[in-house]
Amino acid sequence: MKAVLGLEDGTFVVGEGFGVEGRTAGELVFATQMTGYMESLTDPSYAGQILMFTYPLIGNYGVDSENFQSAKVHACACVAREIAAVPAREPSIARYFEGRGLLGICNVDTRSLTIKTRIKGSMRAALLVGEDDGEYAVECARTAPRLSEQDLIAGVSCRAPYRIEGSGRRIAVVDLGIKKHILVSLRNRGADLWIFPHDATPDQIAACEPETLFISNGPGDPRRATHVIRCVRELLGELQIAGICMGIQVTALALGAETYKMKFGHRGANQPVRDRDGRIFITTQNHGFAVDSETLPEGCSISYANLNDGTLEGFEDRDLGIRCVQFHPEAHGGPRDTETRFFDAIFRGVQ
């Protein structure tokens, strides 16, 4: 199929479509990992975004459903230099996209698109599959809503509370679009998990008598997570609080700190972070917003910083029992070092 990807700056590229015919629009972002393409596509944090992979061949081992991070693909579309026609196992990514009504484009210069994104920042984009009208694709991109204008969390959060029973620490989890492996990491430690939708009230959360409040990852601008910001603010000092990705941003906002939109964000499995003890870890990340470390209140200490750009990657407040990180320790970007450090710390308390 013919296909065209248009950007709001007037650029458009024509390539080969895969999946089904159709149109979609979202913020074009790039991810740098060589594997784990289906983990990224099914990550609810990519809702509202068109996901472009910088690695030149996607789909060489087929669709690995065991490692899906949710039940479906949440990215608006996929952009790749090449998709494997004969994967190591079936189904191929093209057949999976076709069977699920998803949109993709390949045979485009993802290197030049990535360089453009790094220079100009993330831009709105529109993908037309079954068409090749570049000017119209650009027009669609320019009229698409910006990411910060969209309320995306309600579309990926659970609709009702549920429980995953365990014999250990009782943890209330606010689902802003939680990845499956976060729940796995908590469950593997015996946690008694009570999962709540994004708009749960502080009273509903407190009713399950948790020891810890855990805030998950999620899509879009963290300032739109108004319900959970209020929950964190009201439960501060009563519960230990932990968060990953959007969870750190929401917690910081509840403390009165500020967040900002990054130029093009961090997405991939090779982001280096430095612990305050000097050790360096390779981490998996997916975020386009960050906490302004200069606005954190007294009592908070920075636990991790990004080695590439110095952005905040973690903070703690030991008096309030807060421990949050921006990266994804459950995703094992390197050896299982940060997974053990972060999740074990939740179960023994901030020390």
Q: Which residues contact 336 (CB under 8 A, 6 or more apart)?
A: none
Is the model's pLDDT at 281 over the cut of 80?
yes
Question: At the top level of CATH, which class does the domain 153-348 belong to?
Answer: alpha beta
Phi and psi, residue 216, nearest 5°: -90, 180
Told to judge if 245 belongs to the known catalytic residues of this protein, a careful annotator would answer: yes
Mean pLDDT of 155-163: 98
pLDDT score for 348: 83
Select which of 27, 313, 330, 339 is catalytic: 330
- Containing 65, the helix (H) or strand (E) segment is none
Q: Could you tell me the residue ranges of all domains in the chain?
A: 2-149, 153-348
From 270, 309, 263, select the one nearest 289 (Cα to Cα): 263
pLDDT score for 351: 46
Told to judge if 330 belongs to the known catalytic residues of this protein, a careful annotator would answer: yes
Give the ranges where the chain is alpha helix by DSSP (H). 37-41, 93-100, 110-120, 134-143, 180-187, 202-206, 226-235, 246-254, 337-348
Distance CA 239, CA 320 (A): 8
C-beta separation of 192 from 170 below 8 A:
yes
Distance CA 244, CA 247 (A): 5
- Burial zone of 214 (CB within 10 Å; 0-12 exposed, 13-18 middle, 19+ buried): buried
Told to judge if 313 belongs to the known catalytic residues of this protein, a careful annotator would answer: no
Identity (one letter) of the amino acid at 142?
R
* pLDDT tens digits, 233-273: 999 999 999 999 999 999 999 999 999 999 999 999 999 99
C-beta separation of 303 from 338 below 8 A:
no
* pLDDT tens digits, 167-226: 999 999 999 999 999 999 999 999 999 999 999 999 999 999 999 999 999 999 999 999
Which residue(s) pair with 124 in the sheet?
A: 27
Is the model's pLDDT at 75 over the cut of 70?
yes
Architecture of the domain spanning 2-149: 3-Layer(bba) Sandwich (3.50)
pLDDT score for 226: 97
Is the model's pLDDT at 335 over the cut of 80?
no
Two tokens at 173?
């989890």
- Helix, strand, or coil (residue 346): helix
pLDDT score for 350: 52
Kindly report the CA angle at 274 between 251 and 42, in degrees rounded to 5? 60
Strand 212-215 to 170-174 pairing: parallel
Distance CA 246, CA 253 (A): 10
From 201, 204, 159, select the one nearest 177 (Cα to Cα): 159
Kindly report the CA angle at 85 between 97 and 55, in degrees rounded to 5? 80
Mean pLDDT of 139-143: 98
Is the model's pLDDT at 339 over the cut of 70?
yes
pLDDT score for 332: 81
Give the percent of the chain with pLDDT over 90. 97
Distance CA 124, CA 211 (A): 41
Is the model's pLDDT at 336 over the cut of 70?
no
Give the strands of the sheet with 170-174, arranged side by side.
162-164, 192-196, 170-174, 212-215, 240-244, 322-325, 312-317, 301-306, 259-275, 280-291
User: At how many degrees (to 10) do helices 337-348 and 180-187 cross?
Assistant: 60
Select which of 245, 287, 300, 316 is catalytic: 245
